Every structure is written in structure tokens, then in C-alpha cells.
């Protein structure tokens, strides 16, 4: 019999979410997550994926994934430390290290569990972590899991970071101290001030951890935010995901050999959760190969995002201060934002509304993610819809 406590808890909480308009209905995509997606039988221009370079549906990746399945099967068969480490994993990790300009790299089953794994493998209750207030949920959870003291830093406020770093060091309370930040912040598309962050870290001998989920494949000729600023030798943890620009699934840390060796013996998802599948690993390796040999896809991504940004701005939308392809349309009011996204959808554009608690109250926005796979015609069509719906709802 089902627990009455559970039934009561669930119905109360679900009803509360629904009455506040915060219950998220999930629309399944019928087919591939490309620049055009089919949802409820309707074809829509897709401005909501993280598939920056279009690699999720790239034929070259599909081919190597298919081949890996035929030679290595569909599953790795074990956790990495028993006998789930296939030759394909090592090849991927060598490639990742080369891509990031580090001695070594380690892969995980997702970016989310990579943050949980890596932060908690190194930090403990005698340590402190200086964490930007807009850091991703997986960073926050990784920090919590480590039991280190979490010191929240105002977003990209270098004065605040320096003061809090100094205070933490001078308190003498902490064994180790780490600064952790997103490389690119996913809601506004702004880039972390890594040169200043690294200077502060070196001044006080702090560790640095950059989660570059939205920077890899996008900035620094594809190698990410750390490379963009030329800081490969000055950042301890270059964390990234294989699920966004790389187009597959998985997470990784690139860094010094000792760090990676430690993570291989100490991080729990590496020891206790089955390794990435052969197809994931082969496709990711191919994607990184493509990124390392050509900037064609990155160039197309930036060309498309400049085009979309210019178009939206000319129509009179507030697109914030993004420095990357992430293109928010900031409306502010939560209800208006949801209504706008719904009308865009009805007119053929899939762009998700993002409201509190993902962004602060009064900062609701529709977030657009242009990719290298969009054609100019698709973007023009999207802009026509934006203009029509924007005027209809009195936004522009
Ligand atoms: C998406 C994201 C992650 C999680 O990556 P997954 O591979 O999807 O689990 C981690 N950090 C940041 C900053 C992200 O944007």
C-alpha cells in the first residue's frame, strides 16, 4: 500500500505548483533535436537546444557511434575501475586533454555528476569554496556534497570576490580554498572574468575550478573560455560537458596528471556508476576531432547568433548583455513571459520561457539558442514571428 504521507505530500505540492503556474509541462520532441523539431505533430523552429554546433545530428558522429556499437556493444558493462574502462574511453580522455591543453583528463557520465564527483573528491568540511551566486545547480550540489563552507560571491563582482577570499584566508579557519565559476553563465550569456579571478587565486594561493559547459565549442576557437583568455596553465580544473556543443552526453575534467589520477581513485561516480557507452565515447571523440581540425561550425554559430541578435534588437527587444550565442529576450514579468513563449510556439517558434526561480523575480525571459545548423531562412522566419507576436502582445 502507498504511504499516506507520500500521497498527501505529493498532491499538496503538485497542486501548489500548478496553482502558481510553476508546474512545467514537458513537450516530447518527435524525432531528432535539430534546428526544426516536431512537437505535437507540428514543425517548429527550434531555438531551445544546447546543440550549439548541430553535432547532435551530425552524420560523422552517427557513423562512428554506429561503428562503436558494432565493435564494442551498447554498454560498457561495468564501472570504470572494475573493467568498464574500454580503449575508447582512454582515447577520448587523451583527446580531451589535447583539446584543453592539459596533461590529462577524466570523463564522467554527465556534466552534472562530474561536478558532484570532482568537487567532493577534493574538498571537505575543513575547506571553503567561493562560489558565484549564478553558478549552475550542479556546482551548488557538488559544493554541498563536499561539506565545505560555501561562500557566495556576488555575480562577477571581483571586489566582492577579493574581499571574501582575503577574509577566508585571514580567518585561518580553512585548510584549502577554491574559487568556482561557470565560464559562461547560461541565463544571460555573459563570460566570467577569468583573468581577474585567476589573479586573485594566485594572490592568495587558491584553487580555481571553471565549469565551461557553455563555453566549450563556442569560445576560444572551440577549446573554451579558459583558452579564450589564454589561461590554460593557470586554471586547476577545466570542467566541461559532452552534452552541449559536443552534441552527445557526458562530462569531464581536464587538468594536471596528479589531479586526474586522484579523481580516478576517489570520485564516486567513477568508482560506483557504469561508464559512458561506447557510442557516446566514440561520437564525443569524433566531435572533438572535428572541433580541433576546423572552425567552420563555430564560425557559423557566431554568424547565426550575431544575425539573430541584431534582428531582435532592431525589432526593439531587450536582449540583455550576452557576450555569447545565448540570446535572451528579457520581458521581466513572469506571466507575460510565459504568454509570449506560448504565442511564439503557436506561431511556429519553439523558445522556452525561463522565470523565477531559474532567474531572479522580475527577470523573466524567453531564451533563444541559435545554432550552427540553422539556416538564414529559418532565422528570418523566426524574426517575422517575433515581430508579429511582440506587436500583438505590446512588447515592442
Ligand atoms: C548543462 C550544465 C551542466 C550539466 O551538464 P550535463 O552534461 O547536461 O549534465 C553543468 N554545468 C553547467 C554550467 C551547465 O550549463
> pLDDT tens digits, residue range 274-316?
999 999 999 999 999 999 999 999 999 999 999 999 999 999 9
Residue identifier of the C-alpha nearest atom 5 of ligand 1 = 111
pLDDT the model gives residue 372: 98
pLDDT of residue 87: 98
pLDDT of residue 360: 86
How far apart are the CA of 241 and the centre of ligand 1, in A?
6
Asked if residue 242 lies in contact with residue 250, where contact means CB atoms within 8 angstroms, the answer is yes
Residue 247 near residue 283 (C-beta atoms within 8 A): yes
Plot region of 215 (φ>0 → left; ψ -120 to 50 → alpha; else → beta): alpha
**Three-class SS state of 231:** coil
Q: Spell 189-226 as b/e; 16+ CB within 10 A means b.
A: bbbbbbeebbebbeeeebbbbbbbbbbbbbbbebbbbb
- Residue 182 CA: nearest ligand 1 atom is 13
Residue ID of nearest Cα to ligand 1 atom 2 = 213
**pTM beyond 0.85:** yes
HSE of 266, CA atoms in CB hemisphere, 13 A = 15
User: Which residues are catalytically annotated?
Assistant: 186, 214, 244
**Which residue's alpha carbon is nearest to atom 6 within ligand 1?**
111
Q: How far is the CA of 111 from the centre of ligand 1 (A)?
A: 5
State residue 361's pLDDT score: 87
CB burial string 227-255: b at 16+ within 10 A, e below:
bbbebbebbbbbbbbbbbbbbbbbbbbbb
Question: How far apart (Å, rounded) are the C-alpha atoms in residues 75 and 81?
Answer: 15
Taking CA atoms only, the protein residue closest to ligand 1 atom 1 is: 213
Length of the chain in terms of residues written = 396
Long-range contacts of 89-93 (CB under 8 A, 24+ apart): 89/275, 89/276, 89/281, 91/281, 91/285, 92/281, 92/284, 92/285, 92/288, 93/252
* Ligand 1 atom nearest to 243, measured from its CA: 7
Report the percentage of the chain scoring pLDDT > 90. Answer: 94
Q: Which of 213, 273, 354 to mutate to test the pocket of ligand 1 (most atoms within 8 A of CB)?
A: 213
* pLDDT reported for residue 357: 82
Residue 214 CA: nearest ligand 1 atom is 15
- pLDDT score for 23: 82
Give residue-wise pLDDT tens across range 8-27: 999 999 999 888 777 888 88
Indicate the helix (H) or strand (E) that contains 383: helix 376-392
* CA 228 to the chain's CA centroid: 17
Q: What is the pLDDT of residues 121-157, one digit of tens each?
A: 999 999 999 999 999 999 999 999 999 999 999 999 9
Between the CA of 219 and the centroid of ligand 1 the distance, in Å, is 16
Cα of 112 vs centre of ligand 1, distance in Å, is: 5
Amino acid at each position: 500500500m502507498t504511504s499516506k504521507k507520500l500521497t498527501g505530500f505529493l498532491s499538496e505540492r503538485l497542486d501548489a505548483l500548478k496553482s502558481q503556474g510553476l508546474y512545467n509541462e514537458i513537450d516530447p520532441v518527435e524525432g531528432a533535436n535539430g534546428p526544426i523539431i516536431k512537437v505535437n505533430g507540428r514543425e517548429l523552429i527550434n531555438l531551445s537546444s544546447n546543440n550549439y554546433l548541430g553535432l547532435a545530428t551530425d552524420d560523422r558522429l552517427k557513423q562512428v557511434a554506429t561503428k562503436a556499437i558494432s565493435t564494442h556493444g551498447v554498454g560498457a558493462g561495468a564501472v570504470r575501475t572494475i573493467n568498464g574502462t574500454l580503449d575508447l574511453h582512454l582515447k577520448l580522455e587523451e583527446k580531451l586533454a589535447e583539446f584543453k591543453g592539459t596533461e590529462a583528463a577524466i570523463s564522467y557520465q554527465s556534466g552534472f555528476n562530474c561536478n558532484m564527483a570532482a568537487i567532493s573528491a577534493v574538498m571537505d568540511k575543513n575547506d571553503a569554496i567561493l562560489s558565484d551566486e549564478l553558478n549552475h545547480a550542479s556546482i551548488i550540489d557538488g559544493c554541498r556534497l563536499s561539506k565545505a563552507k560555501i561562500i557566495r560571491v556576488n555575480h562577477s563582482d571581483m571586489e566582492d570576490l577579493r574581499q571574501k577570499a582575503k577574509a577566508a584566508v585571514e580567518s585561518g579557519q580553512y585548510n584549502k580554498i577554491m574559487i568556482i565559476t561557470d565560464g559562461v553563465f547560461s541565463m544571460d550569456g555573459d563570460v566570467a572574468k577569468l583573468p581577474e579571478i585567476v589573479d586573485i587565486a594566485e594572490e592568495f594561493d587558491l584553487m580555481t575550478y571553471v565549469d565551461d559547459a557553455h563555453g566549450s565549442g563556442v569560445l576560444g576557437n572551440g577549446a573554451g573560455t579558459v583558452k579564450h583568455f589564454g589561461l590554460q596553465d593557470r586554471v586547476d580544473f577545466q570542467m566541461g560537458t559532452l552534452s552541449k556543443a559536443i552534441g552527445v552526453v557526458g562530462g569531464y575534467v581536464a587538468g594536471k596528471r596528479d589531479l586526474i589520477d586522484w579523481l580516478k581513485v576517489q570520485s564516486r561516480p567513477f568508482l560506483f556508476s557504469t561508464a559512458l557507452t561506447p557510442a557516446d565515447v566514440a561520437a564525443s571523440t569524433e566531435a572533438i576531432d572535428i572541433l580541433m581540425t576546423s572552425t567552420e561550425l563555430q564560425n557559423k554559430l557566431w554568424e547565426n547568433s550575431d544575425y539573430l541578435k541584431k534582428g531582435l534588437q532592431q525589432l526593439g527587444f531587450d536582449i540583455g548583455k550576452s557576450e555569447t550565442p545565448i540570446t535572451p529576450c528579457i520581458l521581466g514579468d513572469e506571466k507575460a513571459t510565459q504568454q509570449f513563449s506560448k504565442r511564439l510556439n503557436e506561431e511556429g517558434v519553439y523558445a522556452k520561457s525561463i522565470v523565477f526561480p531559474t532567474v531572479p523575480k522580475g527577470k523573466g525571459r524567453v531564451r533563444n539558442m541559435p545554432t550552427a545548423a540553422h539556416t538564414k531562412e529559418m532565422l528570418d522566419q523566426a524574426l517575422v514571428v517575433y515581430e508579429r507576436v511582440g506587436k500583438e502582445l505590446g512588447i515592442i
